[in-house]
Structure 1
Amino acid sequence: MPANDNTIDGDVYVSPRHLARATAIGDPGLDPLRDLGWELHHDDLGNAYLNAPDRKVRLGYLPEGDDDGLWRINAYKDPFGPPVWGACFNDSCPTEFVTAFTTALADVYEQGPDSYLATPVSGSKDRDPFLAVAPLINRGWLIDRPRWGVFAIQSPDGLAGLEYTTGDLDPERELTTRDARWQLWAGTSISRPLWYATASTDTPVALLKAVTESVSDPAPLPRWRDDTYSYAEGMAQLTPIVPPRPPAPTPLDVQRAAARRPAALTTSSVPRWSTTSRPALPGPRR
């Protein structure tokens, strides 16, 4: 359980985190790239677009898009050519997973095209696709029933999975449909998931690994109970977020408080009367 924080946005923790849903705002997913000075534009519908300075990486945050692909990120060798790789997170995908992707993207973009256009290579020390799966295996995810042409792995509760499709794929369909090389999802069915994310064949392994590390992180996510899906609420563990206690005063705080008190209140005095006082002694007889 994470430590209480005054900035926590929610009244419950959702565990496991893959049963949470998206947050109401997308700023956390945009911030890592905006911090690099990427150019931000909006259209008349309220969609947001981020462009890298060299115009070779673009992000679209599309609440008013044509489908449920809320986040679309593409990279290019030529700004006017087809994308080299593309990733998509749908409108229910937890925003923290998108933020993990864009944070890693900011890192590799700073390193240059050799990093943000790094094609996965089997057997490579730092570009082998298996490196993106390793965080899941290390945290107890299990290899699913083998299927022809698909490597699948599931979370311990069986309510999240990752699929890696082998063989040749249509590059255009990878960018526009769920028929992509990588698909990560949660729910009771991959055909009707709680949320999903996809990535095309040449998506850099460093970006994929950042997402799988975030998805498999054992720490729960804060959410508002009213925003949780009804069926997810029955499967997920919801723990109330206890309001943080005020911090205990330090010796310096006590000293400063004493210095602010009026002098009359800091001197000791004897109460004139109390319910525990002894009865007054009788006076002299006349």
Structure 2
Amino acid sequence: MSHQPDPRYDIDGDVYVSPRYLAGTTGFGDPALAPLLDLGWERHHDDLGNAYLNSPDRKIRLGYIPEGDDDGLWRINAYQDPFGAPTWGVCFNDSTPTEFVRAFTTVLATAYEQGPDAYLARPISDHDEHDPFLAVVPFLKQGWEIDRPQRGVFDVQAPDGHAGMEVTTGHLDPAAELTTRDARWQLWAGTSIDRPAWYATASTDTPVALLSAVTQCIADPAPLLRWRQDTRSYVEGMAQLTPVLPPGPPAPTPLDVQRAVSSRRPAALPATSVPRWSTSSRPALPGPRR
């Protein structure tokens, strides 16, 4: 049987992708680097084209690594001691929508300006500001549901089942959290968490404010703008693509309306051609009788 194309995806040019977590990466890292570069963070590149940022106090490091050994495109670590082990680490893979990474770096820039008490703040249960549950709230407000309850795992999924967040409880290996997907927090989108289109991980002590910035961005119902040819194949059959229509003509102004009405009126006759009559007019004289 021949495959019949779905007319919903037989479009070209710019499109809006909804839900936004199925949009995929933009392919450009600059928007997510900008909030930190605006603070004057040092940037350098290696011979492969990977970019590395360091905060002025060397306590936060970001790697944008398109030529790395795995699909971890973005790796961000924070340190209590610049020469010690990372206090927390976050990873976004190479298909993660760039807007989600920018949401993280934007709040990270704000936290850095506030000082170590902000960007090294550990999650604390039942704490108004640092309760880890706060990172889940944006999803629940958009109708995401707690799914597959099981011991040691707290899982929340989108209504369509194509995105979710998994929170692991209990003890975890700190080194594994920084180098594998076995981290405290894992965000994903696609067909399942085992075969995600993109994923992001965050280790145990990642500040709640940074996690919440990402979950709020993911839960936002507004679509994301993409070039149709750049959308991933997994989008078809799951996401809604809406073409961006070219702008129409501007609405007419009152002056435009007045000119249009005037152009449709009949031209006025010359004053000399308009017959006039009044009570003072003399009656016409009779003609000569034959």
Same fold (TM over 0.5): yes
TM-score by length of 2: 0.82
Which residue of structure 2 lines up, in the alignment, with residue 51 of structure 1?
Answer: 54
The 3 A distance-change label for structure 1 pair 41 and 250 is farther
Stretches of structure 1 that go unaligned for 5 or more consecutive residues are 1-9, 255-269, 271-286
Number of residues of Structure 1 aligned to a counterpart in Structure 2: 246
Q: 2:82 and 2:213 mapped to 1: Cα distance?
A: 25
Which residue of structure 2 lines up, in the alignment, with residue 176 of structure 1?
Answer: 179
Does 2:211 align with 1:208?
yes
Write out per-residue CA displacement over residues 245-282 of structure 1, whole angstroms, 9 at most, x where no aligned residue.
Answer: 35557789x8xxxxxxxxxxxxxxx9xxxxxxxxxxxx
Q: 2:221 and 2:247 mapped to 1: Cα distance?
A: 22
Give the match's secondary structure for 2:74. strand
Does 2:165 align with 1:162?
yes
Stretches of structure 2 that go unaligned for 5 or more consecutive residues are 1-12, 257-266, 268-290
TM-score by length of 1: 0.83
Does 2:105 align with 1:102?
yes
Q: 2:55 and 2:159 mapped to 1: Cα distance?
A: 38
Give the aligned residue type for 2:188. Answer: W
Write out per-residue CA displacement over residues 206-233 of structure 1, whole angstroms, 9 at most, x where no aligned residue.
Answer: 0000000000100000111111122312
Q: 1:197 and 1:217 mapped to 2: Cα distance?
A: 17
Structure 1 segments (4+ residues) deviating >3 Å: 245-252
Which residue of structure 2 lines up, in the alignment, with residue 91 of structure 1?
Answer: 94
Which residue of structure 1 lines up, in the alignment, with residue 31 of structure 2?
Answer: 28
Does 2:229 align with 1:233?
no
Bigger-Rg structure (1/2): 2
Q: Which of 64, 67, 80 is equivalent to 1:64? A: 67
Which residue of structure 2 lines up, in the alignment, with residue 133 of structure 1?
Answer: 136
Greater CA drift, 145-154 or 243-252: 243-252
Q: 2:40 and 2:246 mapped to 1: Cα distance?
A: 36
RMSD: 1.6
Which residue of structure 2 lines up, in the alignment, with residue 152 of structure 1?
Answer: 155
Q: 2:249 and 2:154 mapped to 1: Cα distance?
A: 50
Give the aligned residue type for 2:122. Answer: T
Give the aligned residue type for 2:193. Answer: I
Give the aligned residue type for 2:108. Answer: L
Q: Which of 242, 253, 262 is equivalent to 2:245? A: 242
Q: 2:229 and 2:87 mapped to 1: Cα distance?
A: 40
Give the aligned residue type for 2:170. Answer: G
Give the aligned residue type for 2:41. Answer: W
Greater CA drift, 103-112 or 10-19: 10-19
Give the match's secondary structure for 1:234. coil
Which residue of structure 2 lines up, in the alignment, with residue 5 of structure 1?
Answer: none
Q: Which of 180, 196, 199 is equivalent to 1:196? A: 199
Q: 2:53 and 2:253 mapped to 1: Cα distance?
A: 46
